[in-house]
Amino acid sequence: MTRERTHAPRFPTNPGITGYVASTGEALNIPDAYQDNRFDQEVDKGTDFKTHAILCMPIKDVKRKVIGVIQLVNKQDGTAFNKNDENLIEAFAIFCGMGIHNTQMFEQAVRAVARQKIALEVMSYHAIASEEDAIELKKTIIPSVESLKILDFGFSDFKINDDTTIKATVRMFLDLDLLQSFQIDYLVFCRWILSVKKNYRNVIYHNWRHAFNVTQTMFCMLEAGEMKNILTTVERLALMVGCLCHDLDHRGTNNQFQKKTMSPLAELYSTSTMEHHHFDQCIMILTTKGSDIFRNLSQETYSQVINLLKSAILATDLALYFSYRPKFEALIATNNSDWSNEDHRNLLRSMMMTASDVAAITKPWEDQKKIAALVASEFFEQGDIEKKTLNLTPIPMMDRAQSDKLPDLQVGFIDDICMPVYKAISKVSPKLNPLLEGCQQNRNNWYMQSKAKPEDREPLPLVYPKRLLTK
């Protein structure tokens, strides 16, 4: 199949042979072009070339849509195209279709990546706190641990404002010597804290205040509980950052809700859905210029911290807690714990994350009642959506109609989740006993409430809009 000429004729895709194949999707094998009325003889005029045989094949994409045409003219031996030629060109047309499709898909992917980069840049710009605010925080005098009273397991944040929670967070990292140990620039650190706070939504419970309280409990466990004697500086950094970031961008709904609603997050992560999202948000802030507190870490230390950080945040998924806890309890019960063993250390860190996450259950009774009201309110909000939007019956803890069961649910929560972890970690360090004692006291209080008549129970404090607990 060749042409010996200086000028190659053009074959339009609208009329004639190519037009027919393009419009119908059918292949044509014509032994004598001049005997076929679909052939446009004008293409040969003005050239030293004469068309005899034509083989024309459509190129189709994966959806069988015609995206091109292959046309062969005149075999070298002067004969008509045969069945073998048809099979060969059909295979080539399929190959071309795949190539064109893959090229288009690649181009689309490149454009999508570019759009995502732009979206991330825009999101990062709006998500990261301003440098001006960070400079103001940098100038601020940070109170001592003693004046802030953050070295107390019974610490309450209800009487302090948001500015004080930020100062207290700075103080915790300073007192653990994390900034100096990892050469963290103070201005970058201030901007990171403000950015983390900015990325918590204004939901009822899983907000900045919850993250701050979880971090304060971890700080107490490390300092007052003397767990820093077991953990390395890198582990302390990962746990503190993990606590502060563990619920970033929480929407006030749990993993099961993401699955029920088939949310984009559930499509992205099949397990530990929200925890993976929290980690992703954490990394987004940590890798954005101006809030990248890990910028001076060596590659080895950086990789280690990120791996520890991911494990810490994912450990707040109670589904993982239930799989880790029996292993940890077995280590403690048999005195087989070896803190030089990384598997044992991972279990310990995971239990510390859970212990910090649910530490509201260890607070003084008046605070515990307030927090229980907040948690219940957020759960009831989810239950309302499940009823009205999904036409589902929510589980009792999320069903506003069953709010009178709150004391029983609290006792069950303590027995199933809280008490076991505090019993276990208090055996690692007796200095952690205040957590266990607070949990036991609140268990007694909730048990008494569950046995009392509804009209005789202590009312929950009104620390939330009244509409949240009304039908």
CATH number reported for the structural domain that contains residue 341 in this entry: 1.10.1300.10
Residue 267 one-letter amino acid: E
Assess whether 96 and 136 both reside in one domain. no
Q: Which two tokens stand for residue 248?
A: 């970033």
Where residue 120 falls (left for φ over 0; alpha for ψ -120 to 50; beta otherwise) is alpha
**Does 388 reside within a domain?**
yes
Is residue 206 annotated as part of the catalytic site, yes or no? yes
The annotated binding site for Zn(2+) is made up of 210, 246-247, 357
201 with 210: CB under 8 angstroms?
no
214 with 313: CB under 8 angstroms?
no
Burial classification of residue 120, based on how many CB atoms lie within 10 Å of its CB (0-12 exposed, 13-18 middle, 19 or more buried): middle
Assess whether 395 and 434 both reside in one domain. yes
316 with 354: CB under 8 angstroms?
yes
Assess whether 94 and 215 both reside in one domain. no
Task: Give the three-class secondary structure for 317.
Answer: coil
Q: 181: domain range?
A: 131-469
- Bridge partner list, 168: none
**Does 126 reside within a domain?**
no
Query: How many domains are there within the chain?
Result: 2
Q: Report the alpha-carbon angle 11-16-18, nearest 5.
A: 55
Cα–Cα distance, 260 to 386 (Å, whole number): 9
Positive or negative, the CA dihedral 19, 23, 29, 35 is negative
Q: Which two tokens stand for residue 20?
A: 């027919």
Q: What is the CATH number of the domain that holds 101?
A: 3.30.450.40
pLDDT, one tens digit per residue, over 215-237 is 999 999 999 999 999 999 999 99
Cα–Cα distance, 240 to 177 (Å, whole number): 12
Angle in degrees, 0-180, between the axes of helices 299-314 and 233-245, rounded to the nearest 10: 50
**Length, in residues, of the chain:** 471
Assess whether 60 and 184 both reside in one domain. no
Assess whether 196 and 229 both reside in one domain. yes
Assess whether 107 and 169 both reside in one domain. no
**Does 261 reside within a domain?**
yes
- Predicted pLDDT at 430: 96
- Predicted pLDDT at 49: 86
Distances (CA, A) of 231 to 82, 313, 340, 435: 78, 17, 10, 19
Cα–Cα distance, 281 to 195 (Å, whole number): 11
Q: Report the alpha-carbon angle 291-302-190, nearest 5.
A: 20
Q: Which two tokens stand for residue 179?
A: 């900034």
**Does 415 reside within a domain?**
yes
Report the C-alpha dihedral over residues 358, 359, 361, 363, rounded to 10 degrees.
-160
pLDDT, one tens digit per residue, over 37-96 is 888 888 888 788 889 999 999 999 888 889 899 999 999 898 999 999 999 999 999 899
Cα–Cα distance, 168 to 54 (Å, whole number): 82
- Predicted pLDDT at 351: 98
398 with 251: CB under 8 angstroms?
no
- Predicted pLDDT at 121: 60
Starting at the edge strand found earlier in the chain, the sheet holding 28-30 runs 28-30, 54-60, 66-73
Residue 83: phi and psi, rounded to 5, are: -65, -40
Q: Among the options 206, 250, 276, 278, which is catalytic?
A: 206
Assess whether 420 and 347 both reside in one domain. yes
Which among 9, 59, 58 is positioned nearest to 29, based on CA atoms? 58
Cα–Cα distance, 11 to 33 (Å, whole number): 14
- Predicted pLDDT at 466: 40
Query: Which residues have a Cβ under 8 Å from the Cβ of 52 and sit 6 or more positions away?
Result: 31, 32, 33, 73, 74, 78
**Does 11 reside within a domain?**
no
Q: Count other C-beta atoms under 10 Å from residue 141's C-beta.
A: 5
Assess whether 59 and 154 both reside in one domain. no
> What does pTM read for this prediction?
0.75
**Does 411 reside within a domain?**
yes
Assess whether 135 and 105 both reside in one domain. no
Kindly state the helix (H) or strand (E) to which residue 426 belongs, with its residue range: helix 419-428
Q: Report the alpha-carbon angle 131-135-140, nearest 5.
A: 150
Residue 99: phi and psi, rounded to 5, are: -65, -45
**Does 2 reside within a domain?**
no
Q: Return the exposure string of 300-320: e unless at least 16 CB atoms fall within 10 Å of the residue's CB, then b.
A: eeeebbbebbbbbbbbbbbeb
pLDDT, one tens digit per residue, over 333-372 is 999 999 999 999 999 999 999 999 999 999 999 999 999 9
Per the prediction, the chain carries an average pLDDT of: 90
The annotated binding site is made up of 206-210, 246-247, 357, 410
Assess whether 59 and 188 both reside in one domain. no
Kindly state the helix (H) or strand (E) to which residue 71 belongs, with its residue range: strand 66-73
**Does 118 reside within a domain?**
no
Assess whether 181 and 65 both reside in one domain. no
Q: Count other C-beta atoms under 10 Å from residue 96's C-beta.
A: 17
Assess whether 136 and 107 both reside in one domain. no
Mean pLDDT, 10 residues at a time, the chain of 471 residues? 45 70 92 89 82 93 88 92 92 90 82 67 71 98 98 96 98 98 98 96 95 99 98 99 97 87 78 91 93 97 98 97 97 93 97 98 96 94 91 91 93 97 97 98 96 84 47 35
- Predicted pLDDT at 465: 43
